[in-house]
Each structure stands twice: as structure tokens, then as C-alpha cells.
Structure 1
Amino acid sequence: MYPNQPAQPYPNPYGSQAPPPVRRRWWQHPAVIIVALVLLPPAGIALAWLSPWSQTKKVVATVLSGVWFLLAFLSDPPAEEKDDAKAKAAASASASPTPTPTSTPTTATPSPSPELVMPDVVGKAFSEAEAAVEALVDGELRAGSAYADVSLPANHATWIVCFQGPAAGARLVPASADPNVDLVAPGTKCPATTGTALRPKPKPKPTESPKPKPQPQRTTPAPEPTRDEPDNVYYKNCTAVRAAGADPIHRGDPGYGRHLDRDGDGVGCE
């Protein structure tokens, strides 16, 4: 072969026709590779790199399959697997029973109901007091006039409460409570005590009784001396009577006097 002679190309064994297409193996089919990448990522990645795919497709398939494999591996196991694990743990625990302490049954103590108390309604309108009280009791709120000489009208919703019973803060029993209030008309001052008259009647002036006339004083006349009693006989005391030998001296005897008869039995100087 001469040095300046151009090289001749190799002759085409197929002549002027195109070469026949290359037949792919079954594991080189794209569908098989994609299924393997999803279900079994390591095998799918290996098949992808053995396939006639381009370099870019192989890298993308490897990354996506790797991410899918990591997510499936790191995620929580299915609920069925958890239940199976719990069942196995329970079975192992029942295989070696341990004595369980007996628990003493405790009686649940019911929480006490809130205590109902009488609200403070003094100074409020009857309609407001009625709504506050009747929400706590089964009966109705009784109303009366705070003044004895003022009648309570049928419509007294705007009348003001002056007195209430029971007092504010008193315990209420809804079934048996009997609350009541005493009212005055709007703009009327409350009395000091219930039952007071708003317009008291003037008291009648006492009539002067005539002064009694002075009665003339009556003087008791001195007892007249007894006829048989001599006027010249007089005893100053019992000593004088005894000295005269006239003791005891009787009524009617000469010289008898009441000053000698202290017990008044008619016998003196006994």
C-alpha cells in the first residue's frame, strides 16, 4: 500500500441496507424497570443503569427511587404490624403472669350542688327583683306595700324594693322558700320600718279634766269623857297607874285612856 494512497473504509457487510434493530432483553423493558424502581428500589436502580437509557434518565430514576425507598423505610410501620407487635407483647406477658395487686373499690363522692342564697334586691325595681329571685325558687316572689296606708296597685313592676325577706345571703330551699318584698312607688322615700303610715293622722289633743274642788277638811271630835270618869283623874303612863294601884285599868275606869291601852283590847297596863 502506497503511503500517499487514502485509506479505504471497511466494507459494509449488509451492503447498502440499514442494520437490523437490536432486540432488548425482557429486563431492559422500561415498564419492568419502572415497576422494579417502585416495588424494589435497589433492583430497579441496577436495571436502570444496565438499560440503554440516557445518563440524565438514569440519574433521575436513581434519585427518585432512592427517595421513595428511604421514605418507605423510615415511615412508621402499618397499623396491622403495630397490632401484631402488641399481640405478641401481650402473649409474652401472659406467658409469665405476675401477681397484680387487688384494687379497693372506691365510692365516687358526688360533688356538692352549689348553695342557693337570697340575692340583695333592695333598691331595685320589682320586675328586676322578681326575675332574680324566681330563677332560684320554685314559687313566686310575693309583694306588698311598705306603707300601711298605701295600697299596692296591680301593675307594680316599676315600684322600688325597700325591704326583703329573707335577708340577702340567706340560704334558700327552692321547694319551700317563700321570698317577699315591700315596695314603695317610684320617687317615694322608704320608711324606717315596714307598716309605717305615709300620711299619719294627727293625734287628738287630750281633753283637760276639771280640777277637783277642794274638800273641807273634817276634824275628828275628841271623845267625850265618860260620865263615871272623874275629870280630875289622869294617868300619864302605866307607871303612874301602877303607882296608884289601879293596874290593870279597864275601859270605863277612872283615868283610863287609849294611851294606856296600846293593843286596844280595853285593858291597859296589863
Structure 2
Amino acid sequence: MSQDKGRTEYKENSNKMTTPDESMLFLKDIVKRFGGLTAVDNVSFTVDPNTITGLIGPNGAGKSTLFNCITGITQPDSGTIQLNNTEIQKESPNQIAQHGLGRTFQTPKIFRGMSVRENLAFAAPEQRGERPVSALVHSQLVKDEEKTIQSQVENTLQFLSLNHLADEYASGLSGGQRKLLELGRVLMLDPDLILLDEPMAGVNPALTDELLDRLHELTDRGRTILLIEHDMDLIMNHCDQVVVLHNGQTLASGPPSVIQDDERVVNAYLEDFDYG
């Protein structure tokens, strides 16, 4: 896998938490309980704009639960979540998406019976053509909207190098191609912040490099990424910032160079990894 330590240089000398006003995502004292189990226990961290932040930790550390709290699938019992300086911890997934958040899942959520192109088009929000009355009353607006969506679809296909598969059924895609397609469906929402849940799991090395190139290009274009990943080589060489969860708590956060030398992190999680 190609290494790109230069992308993290601007963070290497800083380990301070940014303020809510400076952050794309700000979490403070997030708690989520399920009965007598505290899955997320006073977690606090920030995600800076135009960066890739890695969320790591052992299985059961609370990573997926925290993602669910951020995206509105589950509401936290207490704490504050701000996206673009707007509190979102009590809002629904649809409302949060409208504030500029998109998410992928460990198992890509795509329509296997649709083509790649149709999957992307279907993901576009606010389509008047889906409402019969609007299609009749605002026919020109619907046509203009459809042209805009198709243009966005073509741009997304090109960006993800899926042009050659545009008219193929999604069911025939490889695991890595499905993850590219799901990322494309998220991009159709034009999000500011993208949450990726183990985006490289089960992806062959060639497509892993392709995905990583696309993620870096997205941050260059002004997007922000928070990802859960178990590949420590990827985390240490491609993330600007790393947050470590352990037993539902924030064990450490900071640049990769600081995290990999933190004795608490090494003892709790990293001692079994050999990363370059």
C-alpha cells in the first residue's frame, strides 16, 4: 500500500482539541446506555474540516454505537453533538443528512437489481419527478432537475472510475466496487462530512488504493471524513488525526505519530499490530 505521510504533516506538531466553532464535528460527553450496559461513556473529540480522522479501538469499544449516535439512528442519553455549529443529537437521520452528513455501512446498502447508474440517480435527494402532481404542474422544472441529476451521476461515475460499469447490475459488482458505489450514493447527497464504517474491509489491494486516492481527493475538494478502520497501516499513513476508543471511552486522540507512541494505546490495542 502506498504511504502518504506528507498529508499529516500539518497536524504532527499539534494535539489540541479545536473549539466547536472551528470544527466540522464536535462531540462532548456523549453517553449511550443499553439497559445496564454503557456502550459509549463520556466520549469527547473534534473532527477538523477537510481532514481524514480515523476512529479505532478493539471490537466492542463503542465505535459503531457512536456512529449511530452521530447519524441519528440512535439518540445519545446525554452529551452534545454539533455538525457545522448546529446541535444534532436530538434530530432524525433525515434531518441530520440535510445538515450535510452522509454515511456508509460495513455491508454496502445498494440496490442489487438496479444498474450502477440507476443506483446513483436514485440516491439524489428532493426529486420532484417522483411526485406525480409536481411532474404535471412543474414539468419543465422536473426536466431541468433530471438533467442536473444525470450530470451529477456522470461526474460521480467518472470520479469513482465506475464509467465502464455504469449500466451493469450492482449485483455483479465485486465487494470493492460495491463500496465505491455506496460512496458514490453518499456523494450524490453532497455531504460536508462523510462517515465510513470499515470502508476497506474485504477490498482487494488495488481497489483499496483506488478508494484511498478518492478519499484524499475528497478532502482536497473540501469534504471531511471520519472512518472506522482496523487496518493500522492505513490509519497511521493516511489519517490526519486518530481517535482511540476503549471500553466506550476516549482513550486518546491526536496525530498518528503521537497515537502510535502512546503507551496506553499500545497496551490496550496496538501491541498486536505490525504497521509500516
TM-score in terms of structure 2 length = 0.17
**Higher strand residue share:** 2
Larger Rg: 1
Where relative contact order (Cα < 8 A, 6+ residues apart) is larger, the structure is 2
Q: Per residue, is there more helix in 1 or in 2?
A: 2
TM-score, length basis structure 1: 0.17
